[in-house]
Amino acid sequence: MFTLLKKEIRSFLSSLIGYITIVVFLLVMGLFLWVLQTDSNIIDNGYSNIDGLFILAPWVFLFLIPAITMRSFADEKKAGTIELLLTRPLTDLQIITAKYLAGFILVLFSLLPTLIYYYSVHKLGNPVGNIDTGGMWGSYIGLLFLGGAFVSIGIFASAVTDNQVVSFILALFLCFFFYTGFDFISSFSLFGKIDNIILALGINHHYGSMSRGVIDTRDVIYFLTLIAIFIFSTRTVLESRKW
């Protein structure tokens, strides 16, 4: 499995996709946080925090993560190498896990350079170091869980089609729905007490809690459950070839 994981990571980094993903993410974040006159501009707001990063990043991930994962299985199917891959001495779950971890590691690589933003705000604070470091790390953990959830959705979308464009669109739709769809449905207040349950099914509800620096066991369990559901759904899609 680790051989396949290394192959997937090398595949990302040997093509433009990996580098473009990281550069686009950092460029967009840098523009909104430091250059453009927006509510997220750190210098204009005058507060020593990087909350704008954790507000904007999920929306950028909505597009970038489907772009990362769209070729995971769709490209294998189109190239005809999926059967060769599935005949290796690996279980379907190991193959899916390797591809999932490769996508997640690329997301992690894109987040690591943003620590420069934290260092900059740390130094610019008055006094120096006037930033909620604990809350920031909690927000990073929440963003990693969100990224992991999006990757699992993207892997699933890639497994159900052999067309990368279709995979991208499907992953984008599913990520958007799970991020905001349940909030939208619950806002109509049509189901009484059940509205709170519907709200709790959405990613945004749990990510919002974690982005405040609060690591609640319920939020962690939610993300792990969502990731597991899509990983096992992907395995079901792959196993359907035997039916």
Give the C-alpha distances (Å, rounded to integers) separating 66 from 48, 121, 150, 197, 214.
32, 31, 8, 27, 28
pLDDT digits (tens, 9 = 90+) for 83-104: 777 777 778 888 899 999 999 9
100-145 per-position pLDDT tens digit: 999 999 899 889 988 888 888 888 777 777 777 777 888 899 999 9
Structure tokens at 42: 């750190």
- pLDDT at position 146 is 95
Domain hosting 36: range is 2-242
- Which residues neighbour 237 within 8 Å (Cβ) at sequence distance 6 or greater? 156, 159, 160
Over residues 195-214, the pLDDT tens digits come to 888 888 999 989 988 887 77
Model pLDDT, residue 141: 92
- Indicate the pTM of the whole model: 0.91
Number of domains in the chain: 1
Over residues 133-173, the pLDDT tens digits come to 777 888 899 999 999 999 999 999 999 988 999 999 999 99
Find the mean pLDDT for residues 32-43: 80
